[in-house]
Structure 1
Amino acid sequence: MAAFAVALFTAAMLPLGSAAAASASATTDGRSATGHERLRVMTLNIFYGGDDLDLKTGDFCAVANGCPQSLVQIERAIKQARADIVGIQEPERNVEKIASALGWYGSNRAHVMSRFPIIDPPGGDGVYVFVEVAPGRVVAVANTHLPSDPYGPYLVRDGGTVKQVLDLERKTRLPAVQNLVKVLPALAREGIPVMLTGDFNSPSHLDWTPAVAAKRPEVRYPVKWPASSALAAAGLRDTYREAHPDPVAVPGFTWTPGSPEADPHEVFDRIDWVLTAGPSRTVDSTVVGEKGGPDVGVGLSPWPTDHRGVVSTLDVVPSVPPALVSPATRRVTIGGDLPVAYHAPGRQGERVALLDGKGHVVTSRPTGPKFDGTVILPTRGLHRGAYAVALFSGGKVISKAQVWLYLPGEPTKVQVGKSRYKQGEPIEVSWSNAPGMGLDWVSVYACPAGTCTDTSEYLVYAYTDSEIEGHTVIGPTSIGADSSWPVPPGQYVVRLLPDDGLVSVAQSAVFSVTGK
């Protein structure tokens, strides 16, 4: 069950559509009498789930996921940074585990954790969540991890031209920010503060300037890096560069303090960012890393990952959210109760209901006189299948979120469309009862001599976009196709693996690929 927090908004919240949130009383904890909040927002790549780095050797653990003490050190880093909200990269199912150890809320879907309640809104689609930083008021938080290979600065180092570098970035990393560019600015225009954390695997156009090129030999020429440029053009501001505008004086390198995967001729750079948009102001920003490291403002020894983090202090004016329903989980075991948080306009007769696949109400609960709260929807006696949680106001559905009901003990399943494919023919893949984490993926694996071992290498693959049930096509445009498509004749399976990890939770029947 996904551990999205079921946030209980207070009844003092202003009605939907109010121009401003309720003013907070003046306090000494960062809040002001005008509704402003001080937040410390952190980004951190934790290296293969945070439990695969041996702190004594600085190398991979001898056993996969075998260094839990590194996770404890990750927790210490977050505490030492005094973070309120953290975006995690390379989480491998451990976001909620780390959050629980801290006594926080966590989302394995969005890869965000916070000491404040987290709400998964309809339309967020795993791209962003709301964090309730004050009673009845939210900010939007998104987290991303752009593709790492091929790495642009290595191409520069190895003699690539500006055109070659830009072509690489436009092909490899620019497509990965398009959804962020489409979704996040719209939230900011609605008056919702937006934070975007991530490992962008790209330098910033704010860093590779003519002045920097004159000082740093590895910066052979200025580059207007496409990913950072696109995000900046969309209105997302780089908080570290707002706090430290001179990239010559304060480079702020986050890659790398040392890594088992570091290149022998490493190029150091600032590729981990906290970006913001909407009603927010940068107060400060600093690098979190190993004690004594360059530009490190928050130091810890030993440092438990191969990236330094960044923590930024922001002054924000959180917003009243739109009307919404937020189920505590998107996959529900029949017979259990489903908690659903809501924000409603506050009209008479409003209800939260569970709708079947035909749109019929199968159960409902009144919201009462409150604008915000949580109702519990029972599922005993219902049939397996797709349902929707809906908020009714004025006799109309004003917010809806999909959920799936499964029988107790029902496993995760993955299937392919046919038992036999011709070489080069796209492979149809479908799945159900998936974990629904942010980086769940489906991949083709070879079965040499008809034997499908767990140790075989993954080939071409696709992400599920955190869908509980869905389908995709694996083919020439899928990830890994450059090196492994078309797969040669032979026998194969497709596996579903949660959250960028390498442990399968479901496997298809064996299928064959034949010659053309």
Structure 2
Amino acid sequence: MLGCIAFCFINIQCKQEKIIKLKVLQFNIWQEGTVVENGFQGIVDEIIRTDADLIAFSEVRNYNGVDFSKHILEALKAKGHMYYAQPSEDTGLLSRYPIVEQTALYPVTNDHGSITKAIINILGVEVAFYSGHLDYLNCALYLPRGYDGSTWKKLDSIITDVDVIQKNNLESMRDDAIDAFIADAEIEKQQGRLIIYGGDNNEPSHLDWIEANKNLYDHNGVVINWRNTKTLENKGFKDAYREIYPNPLTHPGFTYPANNPLVPLSKLAWSPEADDRDRIDFIFYYPDERLQLKDSKILGPIGDISRNERVLELTEDAIIEPLNIWPTDHKAVIAEFALKF
């Protein structure tokens, strides 16, 4: 949607400012939607329904030698929707605007996560758009909940020592990936490009593990500055969902594990005796006068998985329910921006 605001002066000189709506979707698609029957079609339908301009995919696999980027482009085109994409692995990008170039900024190695980067030309404004799917091992959010974060076996006791949790967290490669993103984004900022990141970080936010909820969701008293979101904040990046909804008590924004009614509990509960609801999927952006955040929402089924049950605890979260088939065990995140020229 294109709007114009005209600023006119006495000398009849006018400067016209153009503003468009830019919708960003972060979407873990759970092995390309293959775990859920007709899951790929569910991915296509939700992209169309959200009317997203930029999409960051996690869990791109290119199964059986089929290029996922080509597959999704063809499926959308068949329904009258034109996008751009290029081949990638583990993470992927989809854009309604031309892709100038695309690179594997942090290539996937032995399934330890990845970040794919594209330069998108949006009507003359260039955006450095990043899609992340970070290392799933040493997933330290499970330690206070009494489970190992690499084997998901139950521990003899819960771990609440913050130093121990942070040490385990840093044994993953998530920090390497985020540091690579931050360093690259700094170069792109110097070139005048806008910066947007969407990713399944497999790590919670320091904004969500605070004093006020330390006894909720099996945090078991732990208050912790999770390394990667805290580092992003220190570098000036903004968490789109927390910018709109800063209170994690009223708006926890859980994205995992999602209550997908099409999937048996055995495939959804990794720590069946714990409450491991958390927000691990994010959209981050770097502030710029040309980019104004307008809204952010969660996309996915109502409810979550907790203690091996489907729970429908009511929150004030802004949640858009799926049209029909929800293709994943995550919920997705949407952010809407006003982009000025």
Give the structure-1-normalised TM-score. 0.50
| Contact 1:289–1:309 (8 Å) recurs in 2 | yes
Find the partner of 1:148 among 132, 136, 155: 136
Q: Which moved more, 1:123-132 or 1:248-257?
A: 123-132
> Which residue of structure 1 lines up, in the alignment, with residue 151 of structure 2?
none
> Which residue of structure 2 lines up, in the alignment, with residue 223 of structure 1?
224
CA distance in 2, matches of 1:277, 1:47: 28
Shift of 1:176: 2.3
The structure whose RCO (Cα within 8 Å, separation 6+) is larger is 2
> Which residue of structure 2 lines up, in the alignment, with residue 171 of structure 1?
171
| Contact 1:81–1:298 (8 Å) recurs in 2 | no
Shift of 1:156: 1.2
| Contact 1:120–1:130 (8 Å) recurs in 2 | yes
Q: Which moved more, 1:281-290 or 1:181-190?
A: 181-190
Map 1:84-99 → 2, pairs under 5 A: 84-93=53-62, 94-99=68-73
Corresponding pairs, count = 276
Query: What are the superposed Cα offsets for residues 296-346 of structure 1, whole Å, 9 maximum, x if unpaired?
Result: 52211332101000000012346xxxxxxxxxxxxxxxxxxxxxxxxxxxx
Shift of 1:290: 1.4
Find the partner of 1:137 among 117, 125, 129: 125
CA distance in 1, matches of 2:248, 2:284: 17
Cα distance change on mapping 1:96 and 1:87 into 2, 3 Å? farther
Letter in 2 for 1:268: R
Shift of 1:130: 1.3
Query: What are the superposed Cα offsets for residues 53-101 of structure 1, whole Å, 9 maximum, x if unpaired?
Result: 23xxxxxxxxxxxxxx210111111222221110000011223321332
> Which residue of structure 2 lines up, in the alignment, with residue 207 of structure 1?
208
| Contact 1:144–1:197 (8 Å) recurs in 2 | yes
| Contact 1:193–1:317 (8 Å) recurs in 2 | no
User: Any idea what SS the aligned residue of 2:171 has?
Assistant: helix
Give the structure-2-normalised TM-score. 0.74
Find the partner of 2:17 among 29, 34, 42: 34
Question: Is 2:269 aligned against 1:262?
Answer: yes
User: Any idea what SS the aligned residue of 1:106 has?
Assistant: coil
User: Any idea what SS the aligned residue of 2:17 has?
Assistant: coil
Larger Cα-atom Rg: 1
CA distance in 1, matches of 2:299, 2:246: 18
Map 1:466-477 → 2, pairs under 5 A: none
Structure 1, unmatched stretches of 5+, are 1-23, 55-68, 319-516
Shift of 1:214: 4.7
Query: Larger % of helix: which?
Result: 2
Map 1:5-404 → 2, pairs under 5 A: 26=4, 33-54=16-37, 69-93=38-62, 94-102=68-76, 103-109=82-88, 111-120=92-101, 127-134=116-123, 136-158=124-146, 159-160=158-159, 161-172=161-172, 173-218=174-219, 220-258=221-259, 260-263=267-270, 264-265=272-273, 266-279=275-288, 280-291=291-302, 295=317, 297-300=319-322, 301-317=324-340
Shift of 1:25: 6.8
CA distance in 2, matches of 1:283, 1:252: 17
Percent of residue pairs bearing the same amino acid type: 25
CA distance in 2, matches of 1:99, 1:243: 32
| Contact 2:217–2:276 (8 Å) recurs in 1 | no
Shift of 1:122: 8.0
Shift of 1:204: 0.3
